[in-house]
Structure 1
Amino acid sequence: MSDALASHIEKLLLCLVLFIGFIGFADGRFTAPICAPDNNCIQKNSQGTWCYIPAPSTSGGTPDCVGPSFKTPDMTPFIAVHIKQGLSIAYYNEVDTALLGDANYSIPVALGRVVLCASGAWAGSFQTQCLPTQQDNNMWPQFNSECIVSIAQDFVSDGCYVPKSGNILTDDPSTSTLKLPPGSLSAPLSSPTRSLHIITPTLTTFIEPTISTIVTNGVTQTIVVAPFNASSNGPNQSKGVVLPIVLPLFFVILVALGVFVWWYKKRARERRYFAGPPPFDGPPPQWEPGDGK
């Protein structure tokens, strides 16, 4: 193997390092506990779920974002959508308030800004917050662009807290307060409308979208339960599955190539050292004894 080939392998190693670094920094999900300046925090619970832990708040108890502080009117539509679905932390498209994913959603670079909404409870009080963001681990509002209200969601499906209504949706029928009526799985959703509340629950028995109803404080609501295998994250779900496989593979290749280049250069240095100067094969042609004086 030539020195040129060894140089090419070194360049390949550098490319692999840069590629792995790009994969790590392109990820938009929550990767570490964070707190905003107002002491509202996002951290994992005992089940490993990212949850919103709000500081005690005196914000208004309505979803309308109108007021002197923490009440940006632009966030009113997102507050209204967020409190009608069960993910306590969710990302939404800034243009049409479409649900993009949960706390593990990876923000595509080409998408630009999205809206992060989070709901939680602390010390008997409830809070919901929405703010625009462009990066991971970010709860820092820019130019008072957030809205914070003292209300909870109608129900919770990720186990982060129990809302004021007491409605929770889990994969354990003994603990879930939302019950699907018999035969609801046979009613597939064909044309969802904006009047239906979209849910992404943790129920593993769902095969296709279904329509059902729940009763909250005496009011009947129509809900749409998304299928278990239709993740709102789209390609981000496959990314979460592929990365744990691809990254270790790249690491093994990186180490193997590094060891090979080190071994090759070590052998090359040893060959040059032990070879010594070229052997003396006698005087050059047409040499005479007096030429060296």
Structure 2
Amino acid sequence: MINQGIKKTAYISLATLAVSTLALAAPALHAATTANAKSKPKAITVKVGLMTMDDEDKAEWKVISNYAKKHGNVTIKYVQFTDYSQPNKALKNGDIDLNAFQHYFFLDNWNKENNGNLKPIAKTVIAPIRLYTKKGYKSVKDLPDKAQIAIPNDATNEGRSLVALQTAGLITLKKGVALATPSDIASNPKHIKIVLVDAAQTARSLSSVDAAFINNTFVSAAGLKFKSAIFVEPVNKASKKWINVIAARPNYKKNKAKYAAYKEIIKGYQQKKIKQLIKKYSDGTSLAAWDIKLK
């Protein structure tokens, strides 16, 4: 038979041990709870400016949104624009936080013309500009004398299209011109007539011209197939200026919470899933720009 004194002492010791264990566990539990609270960033909304979203944009930004929400508690609010003159103005004025629609050259030129200082903060995609036709021509060699060719009328894409026409062997440009216009055409053996059209309208112009340069953004919406182009701008070392970017205001690192959110958006964009979607929706004609080597 166990001595009652010993039994009582044993009960007291066990009770003391239990209290001590709880006392030790409490700070650890509190620390773990605090750590979990700290590990989840505060919810933040980032406004991203885009051109009118096509199926590719919707698919890609859905993936990016899910990534940013999961990893940074970031909600992306999309602001859509209808022409290229709007997104940079909105960014400069603070109406949006980021935009993703333009290449380096367009951004640099816009900054010069508008006393801006917007910054590229991430590479996205490079989409070679293409020449399309609905007149049955199989190549640029088939274009007739005095053919009408529509090109985008914004300065950078206008110059880009003219350089592409030179590369295609249809015209030559004056040397040393940084941003060509039709007045910089030095020779024009086929007497090609250049028709300047808003970039969003070049696809619609196909019914009235022989061919048109159409930015990839508008190809699918026009019911065209990417690989039906009769000329494709080559991708090489000279193509760096045509790499598309995500842009921000110059002080984008000042707000630490938003800067952290921007980094999550960039990570969300520069992932394998987006690379696969770029390839899928462009029929392999556009390239993820963040990990390519231009030769």
TM value normalised by structure 2: 0.22
Structure number with the higher helix fraction is 2
